């Protein structure tokens, strides 16, 4: 298995050049992730997704688009999504 590309959704602006002036401060001791645009997903579908699923799909979409640009005939063989305590708030609420 080879990792060909990565993508990250984070509370900080990681896609830009690093700098202390772009770091976001925590609010109420929480760092909230900056959600992506979710291009191509209807708002009704997004509303019904849990946050962990929505963010996982948001991380996968740019990788799929990038793969289509590089290899139009090829498909993505798999995407590995990792998170730290994703969905814990939702589980507690349930």
Residue 89 is assigned to a structural domain of this protein = yes
Name residue 27's beta-bridge partners.
Answer: 30
Question: What is the domain extent for residue 78?
Answer: 20-93
Residue 80 is assigned to a structural domain of this protein = yes
State the pLDDT confidence band at 42, using cuts at 50, 70 and 90. very high
Look at the alpha carbons of 77, 84, 61, 17 in this order and tell me if their dihedral is positive or negative.
negative
Look at the alpha carbons of 4, 9, 13, 18 in this order and tell me if their dihedral is positive or negative.
negative
Residue 2 is assigned to a structural domain of this protein = no
Residue 14 is assigned to a structural domain of this protein = no
pLDDT at 94: 47
- List, for residues 27-39, the tens digit of each pLDDT value: 788 777 778 888 8
Q: How many structural domains compose the chain? A: 1
Residue 78 is assigned to a structural domain of this protein = yes
Structural tokens at position 19: 């700098």
- The least confident of 40-49, 59-68, 72-81 is 72-81
Other CB atoms within 10 Å distance of the CB of residue 57: 18
Q: What is the dihedral of CA 62, 67, 73, 75, to 10 degrees?
A: -80
């Amino acid at each position: 298995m080879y990792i060909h590309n990565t993508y990250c959704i984070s509370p900080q602006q990681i896609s830009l050049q690093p700098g202390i002036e772009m770091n976001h401060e925590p609010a109420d001791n929480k760092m909230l992730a900056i959600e992506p645009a979710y291009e191509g997903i209807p708002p009704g579908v997004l509303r019904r997704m849990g946050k962990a699923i929505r963010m996982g799909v948001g991380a996968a979409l740019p990788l799929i688009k990038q793969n289509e640009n590089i290899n139009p005939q090829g498909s993505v063989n798999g995407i590995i999504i990792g998170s730290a305590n994703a969905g814990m708030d939702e589980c507690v609420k349930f």
